[in-house]
Amino acid sequence: MPREFVVHNQRERLIAGLAEAVAENGYGGTTIGHITRQAAVSRRTFYEHFGSKDECFVAAYDTVMEELRERVSEAFDAEGDWPHAVRAGIAAMLSLLAAEPNLARLCMVEALVAGPVVVERYDAAIQSLVPYFKAGREGRSKEVLSRLSPTTEEALVGGMVSLISRRIIAGKSTELESLLPDLVEFTLTPYIGSAEAAKIAREG
């Protein structure tokens, strides 16, 4: 096989191996030996790709978040109106996290204890969700806008992420998609009212 393919494959295996090792041992308890065993590669191969466990974690985190951002963006942009775009974006996020429990734990839970570099990336990722909700201010009445504080969107994103993280910590990552109705109603209500938000949240 071409060396480029082998190198790429090894890197992906190491990232997957790290996610599995962290899910089993936590970030602090994970060693390079754990990662290489899960990835079925040598320690030498690990150091051909990464200089440390931290560097491998950052690469894994960036890979997951790039995929998550792409899926959320595509789902959001595919809808014709904002409320349904929000619903589609949240659904895409929950679907990916539920399908990959180890990666979900890595990016939503372990990232907070993986050092300042990853925490900065985590904060940036959270902030990247804010504009999707701020778009809901467009075309709203003065009465609605008067009820929205400057930090409404950050509070909504924080609440959503907190609920998802608690489910992951409880070992219920595969059940994340069941949160969709509650999260949609929670995030839409400040903009369109509880009745309409509840209706959209429970659409099939």
CATH number of the domain at 180, please.
1.10.357
Distance, CA of 53 to CA of 174 (rounded, Å): 27
pLDDT digits (tens, 9 = 90+) for 141-169: 999 999 999 999 999 999 999 999 999 99
> Is there a single domain that holds both residue 86 and residue 171?
yes
What average pLDDT does the segment 1-13 reach? 67
The total number of structural domains that make up the chain: 2
Q: Residue-wise over 112-151: b if at least 16 C-beta within 10 A, else e? A: eebeeebeebbeebeeebbebbeebeeeeeeeeeeebeee
> Is there a single domain that holds both residue 92 and residue 138?
yes
What average pLDDT does the segment 164-177 reach? 95
pLDDT digits (tens, 9 = 90+) for 103-133: 999 999 999 888 888 889 999 999 999 999 9
> Is there a single domain that holds both residue 153 and residue 196?
yes
pLDDT band at residue 181 using 50, 70 and 90 as cut-offs: very high
What is the CATH classification number for the domain harbouring 45? 1.10.10.60
Q: Are 169 and 181 in contact (CB under 8 A)?
A: no
pLDDT for position 7: 57
Q: Which amino acid is at 74?
A: E
pLDDT for position 4: 56
> Is there a single domain that holds both residue 71 and residue 126?
yes
- Structural domain harbouring 195: 58-201
